[in-house]
Amino acid sequence: MLDQKLNKFLHENQVSFIRDISLLVAQPSVSARSQGIDECAELVRRMTEEIGADTRIIKIDSSAPIIYGEVSSTLSKKTILFYNHYDVQPEEPLEKWESPPFKPEVRGEKLYGRGTSDDKGELVARLKVVESFIKVHGQPPCNIKFCFEGEEETGSLHLNEYIGQNQDLFRADAVIWEGGGAIDDSGTPIVTLGLKGMLAVEFILKTISTDAHSMYAPVLPSAPWKLVRMLSLITNKKGEIMIPEWNQKIRTLTDEEVNVLNNQPFNAETILRTYGVDDLPPGMSNSDARKALVDGPTANISGIWAGYTGPGIKSVLPAEAHCRMDFRLASDQDPKEQKERLRSYLDNNGFKDIQMSVISSLSPARTNYRDPFVKAAVDAGDEVFQRKTITRLSDPGSGPMFVFRQRYEVPVVSLGISHTGALIHAPNEHIRLDLLENGMLWIARTISNFASM
Amino acid sequence: MLDQKLNKFLHENQVSFIRDISLLVAQPSVSARSQGIDECAELVRRMTEEIGADTRIIKIDSSAPIIYGEVSSTLSKKTILFYNHYDVQPEEPLEKWESPPFKPEVRGEKLYGRGTSDDKGELVARLKVVESFIKVHGQPPCNIKFCFEGEEETGSLHLNEYIGQNQDLFRADAVIWEGGGAIDDSGTPIVTLGLKGMLAVEFILKTISTDAHSMYAPVLPSAPWKLVRMLSLITNKKGEIMIPEWNQKIRTLTDEEVNVLNNQPFNAETILRTYGVDDLPPGMSNSDARKALVDGPTANISGIWAGYTGPGIKSVLPAEAHCRMDFRLASDQDPKEQKERLRSYLDNNGFKDIQMSVISSLSPARTNYRDPFVKAAVDAGDEVFQRKTITRLSDPGSGPMFVFRQRYEVPVVSLGISHTGALIHAPNEHIRLDLLENGMLWIARTISNFASM
């Protein structure tokens, strides 16, 4: 049973919602270069206050502020917390944007701009859903909390500390995650129950005090060669991670989880085509690929550099070699344990002299698909979109979901207003305006469903 | 028997020689960025003409001009050719120079400036020795030819073609090579009989059409991982080159060559200390190191890059990976053959898709230490410096010596005015003015010795 009054209000105020999203998108907030973060935080605080929430800014040292918001309800003792972020990815390459990234523009039923989907559009949609409840009914169906952070795109380095220091403030019975890409391109809603974890490290290897002429190669140790030797031990030819006990804490999926996985429509073809690749890796089927994206640990080289990389030729024996790797973690893999495993493996194989620093450390997180809150979200999706909602055990990406999921032992699910083809992190990021109203209804209905359970 | 008149003339004109070297150093000529090359070529042509030589500028398309010069003699039918280059290495890092690199400055018996040693000081010294013969005796003891190129620092890419097209013009009975570092820091002359060859290649590997989010690591092929796999096949853990038949054409040194090698003073300690390294590679003795520098093939990674290398974190799965390698060649190794061996090895091991382009291709060259011209140079060194001249079978570096050595089958030796600690290719490059007069006498005496043989 849909809430007709709320439905009508959401329908009649679409233009004003788009204006609000545009307002936030127009304030640059690129955490990677600390651009506009404080200004954007203040704008978010004001927008949160304007819907009728009590707000608080929480800031540790020079990190990006967290905006906390709270709207209480007399209708239910339950509390839902919304996690979103107001920082965005850098807009480069600028020349590939058809309109300026920080001047939001509507073209053909789409709103373009950096952060329209990830995650300012989602953030504003949640605020406006709660505001709509207040305007229509005087209050939301249950207590609402907001947690808006400004460092998500740089690895949420302080979030766990923030929440740990304000344990009671952020306590909730369920969490709705940031929600990007929650509607597939055909208009089917997707509820996502988990995120992979991540251990990202930077290696620095110095073998000689200064770059040498490469004629000395017979007698001087080479940093890039040593790095190549080290990397070639981390994975084997098939790409499998060779670090002892690395996969020890990957749980076998239960039969029921396998069932959920098998019901998730997936065509690897779509990804392969996007990147101009003909086939999956040898021996990998489409369903293997689906499982690996949900549950498979990875070892990725995100950057490597040494020596002379400019034009022309310079026969140098490089003094240093650098490499960054990100390891996606699944199930119960713990980034701190994995770091120790990696370090020991390198030490035991003759690479004690390689410096390794952690640049990102996120635990995996996953909500049990049988949790009632999952049903609340799935039922809401079915109802609003009139389609069978897809349930995904996990996104292939990573994020700080564990901060809430593990600390409070509450369900966390991701749903929202934006579609999978929204070009997040890329030029011409956008949201589809034809999905905005249903996306907001979906959020509203999930809140109502949960409150009345 | 030294030539007293010439000796006196060289002694009395030192100030004017230093002025001439300074004049040439003051004209920037950085081939890596095509800066000042034509201006410098014209200045060299004029300076060559001014000593009384016939000159010619030879230029193919947009390459750097070669200056050819010729002075004939009625005293001998023999011809000595001098090979030098007027281009220099880039001057960076500028902040480490104590005086501007292109404003030559005398400080404490040293002349500082980019190219003072490599190779403008050597070039001018040869011109002025020949001019001195003309001024004192009316002509040099034998015919003299000059070949001054402007692309040495970028791999002498056109020299072989130039000489091939002007085969008779450049024909000589003996060649005196560019000569940098021909006097050790204690003042002992060094005659060098060879250079290593070089095959330098650039690898480009593309696995996907555009950088991807690293969450797709389970299903997309990674360019840097593939590069690591490939590189790990090229050498083994000990650094030995694993390409089949790579070392087939390394000749065993004759007993007499071993003898020359063993008489070459060498202390690896000096190199290790310069680069802050404690020990030679495991199992390598000081005399192994000396031999490897003279006769050992190498596989060096001069540059490697892929993915995001800026500050912070960007979890990207790179679409491309790049690598540059230089292989030093010895004995009879042929860069074209070696290139085929490398390509086949990669193809046979699953790396057909790696693009490989040759950026430098130089054959090794070595003059027989029993050649009479070597004796002329060694005797001249003994006589002028009153010390036992050191004979080196080969320099550990590379250059286009083979262009003359192999084509004309004539002896080529390197000797000159500058010392081993001259900081070539580095900030504060200089020559020692206390060695200039003896260096020029050494060149003069070598010419006389050879003419009268």
Average pLDDT over chain A, rounded to whole? 96
Q: Which amino acid is at B81?
A: L
User: How far is CA B171 from its chain centroid?
Assistant: 21
* Residues in chain B within 8 Å Cβ distance of A314: 32, 302-303
CA distance A249 to A255: 18
Asked if residue A185 has pLDDT above 90, the reply is no
With contact defined as beta carbons under 8 Å apart, do A120 and A102 qualify?
no
User: What integer best gives the mean pLDDT of chain B?
Assistant: 96
- Inspect the interface and report whether the beta carbons of A293 and B219 lie closer than 8 Å: yes
Contact B219 A280 (CB under 8 A): yes
Report the range of poorest mean pLDDT among A58-62, A183-187, B416-420. A58-62
pLDDT at residue B298 is higher than 80: yes
Q: Cα separation of A131 and A133, whole Å?
A: 5
Read off the tokens for B305.
Answer: 């890059």
Chosen from A205, A275, A395 to mutate, greatest number of chain B CBs within 10 A: A275
Render pLDDT for A373-385 as a digit per residue (tens, 0 to 9): 999 999 999 999 9
Instruction: Tell the residue number behind the tokens 């070949």, with chain if given.
Output: B147
- How far apart are the C-alpha atoms of B65 and B40, rounded to whole Å? 10
Question: How large is the ipTM?
Answer: 0.93
Which band of pLDDT confidence, cut at 50, 70 and 90, is reported for residue A61? confident
Shortest Cα distance from A212 to chain B (angstroms)? 8
Answer for the pair B54, B130: CB distance below 8 angstroms, yes or no.
Answer: no
Question: Minimal Cα–Cα distance from B242 to chain A, Å?
Answer: 14
Percent helix / strand / coil, chain A, rounded to 5: 35, 25, 40
Nearest-Cα residue of chain B relative to residue A317: B302
Q: Over 70: is that where the pLDDT of B2 sits?
A: no
Question: How far away is chain A from the Cα of B91, in angstroms, using its nearest Cα?
Answer: 13
> Chain A, 251-290: which have a CB under 8 Å from a chain B CB?
268, 271-272, 275-277, 280-281, 284, 289
Question: In this complex, which of B196, B304, B316 lies closest to A306 when CB atoms are compared?
Answer: B304
Which residues in chain A have their CB less than 8 angstroms from residue B322's CB? Answer: 309
What lies within 8 Å, CB to CB, of A135 at 6+ separation is A9
CA dist., res. B65 & res. A5, Å (int): 84
Record: contact A301-B307, CB cut-off 8 A: yes
Which chain A residue has its CA at the smallest distance from B268's CA?
Answer: A219
**How many distinct helices (H) and strands (E) make up chain B?**
13, 19
Tell me what pLDDT residue B385 has: 97
Residues B344, B78: Cα–Cα separation, whole Å: 46
Q: Which residues from B are below 8 Å from A221, CB to CB?
A: 277, 281
Residues 6+ apart with CB under 8 A from A14: A433, A436, A437
For residue B310, the model assigns a pLDDT of 86
Query: Does the beta-carbon distance from A217 to B315 stay under 8 Å?
Result: no
Q: What is the maximal distance between C-alpha atoms in chain A?
A: 80
Task: Tell me the mean pLDDT in the region A289-312.
Answer: 95
Is there a contact between B12 and B90 (Cβ–Cβ < 8 Å)? no
- A212–B contact, CB cutoff 8 A: yes
Task: Determine contact: A241 vs chain B, CB below 8 A.
Answer: no
Query: Is the minimum CB–CB distance between B236 and chain A shorter than 8 Å?
Result: no
Range of A345-349, A421-425, B30-34 with top mean pLDDT: A345-349
**What is the reported pLDDT for B415?**
98
DSSP B50-92: HTT-EEEEE--TTSPPEEEEEE--SS-S-EEEEEEE--B----
What's the Rg (C-alpha) of chain A?
A: 23
Query: B219 and A398: CB-CB below 8 Å?
Result: no
Contacts B308 to A, Cβ<8 Å: 302-303, 324
- pLDDT for position A2: 64
CA angle in degrees (0–180, nearest 5) for B316-B318-B321: 150
CA angle B138, B141, B142 (to 5 degrees): 115
| Token reading at A254 | 């239960």
Q: Which residues of A touch B210 (CB under 8 A)?
A: 275-276
Q: Which of A154, A209, A216 sits opposite B313 (nearest CB)?
A: A154
Chain B: give the shortest CA distance to residue A320, in Å: 11
Smallest CA–CA distance, residue A297 to chain B, in Å, is 8
Q: CA nearest A212: which of A125, A315, A117?
A: A315
Instruction: Find the mean pLDDT for residues A426-430.
Output: 93
3-state secondary structure A84-121: EECCECCCCCHHHCCCCCCCCEEECCEEECCCCCCCHH
Most B CBs within 10 Å: which of A273, A300, A320, as the mutation test of the B interface?
A300
Share above pLDDT 70 across residues of chain B, in percent, rounded to a whole number: 100
Q: A174-177 and A320-329 as β-strands: parallel, antiparallel, unpaired?
A: unpaired
Tell me: the pLDDT tens digits for B54-97?
999 999 888 999 999 999 999 999 999 999 999 999 998 899 89
C-alpha Rg value of chain B to the nearest Å? 23
Is residue B1 predicted with pLDDT exceeding 60?
Answer: no
Does residue A228 belong to the interface with chain B, where contact is any CB pair within 8 Å? yes
- Mean pLDDT value across residues B312-336: 94
Residue B307 has its nearest CB partner, among A214, A215, A304, at: A304
Q: Find the helix or strand (DSSP H, E) in which B271 lies.
A: helix B268-274
Residue B294 carries which DSSP code? H
Between CA B4 and CA B178 the distance in angstroms is 26
The B residues from 118 to 137 touching A (CB cutoff 8 Å) are none
Mean pLDDT confidence for A140-162: 95
Q: Closest Cα partner for B182 from B362, B446, B450?
A: B446
Q: Which of B239, B305, B425 sits opposite A213 (nearest CB)?
A: B425
Q: Is the model's pLDDT at A62 over the cut of 90?
A: no
Pairwise CA distance, residues B138 & A160, whole Å: 88
Nearest CA in chain A to B31: A312
By percentage, how much of chain A surpasses pLDDT 70? 100
Model confidence at A99: pLDDT above 70: yes
Asked if A367 and A375 count as a contact pair (C-beta separation under 8 A), the reply is no
Please report residues of B whose CB lies closer than 8 A to that of A276.
208-210
Interface probe for A, chosen from B156, B203, B215 (most Cβ of A below 10 Å), is: B215
| Most confidently predicted of B102-106, B208-212, B237-241, B269-273 | B102-106
Q: Please state the pTM of the whole predicted model.
A: 0.92
What are the pLDDT digits (tens) for B241-263? 999 999 999 999 999 999 999 99
What is the pLDDT confidence band of residue A272, given thresholds at 50, 70 and 90? very high
The full DSSP string for A230-245 is HHHHHB-TT--B-STT
Domains of chain B: 4-193+367-451 (3.40.630.10), 196-250+296-362 (3.30.70.360)
Tell me the residue length of chain A: 453
Contact between residue B357 and residue B160 where contact means Cβ atoms under 8 Å apart: no
- Return the closest-CA partner of residue B206 out of B196, B219, B221, B189: B221
What is the rounded average pLDDT of the residues A134-153? 97
Hey, is the C-beta of B181 within 8 angstroms of any chain A C-beta? no
Mean pLDDT across B374-387: 98
Residues 6+ apart with CB under 8 A from B404: B81, B83, B163, B170, B172, B175, B410, B412
Instruction: Provide the strand spans (E) within B248-345.
Output: 298-307, 316-317, 320-329
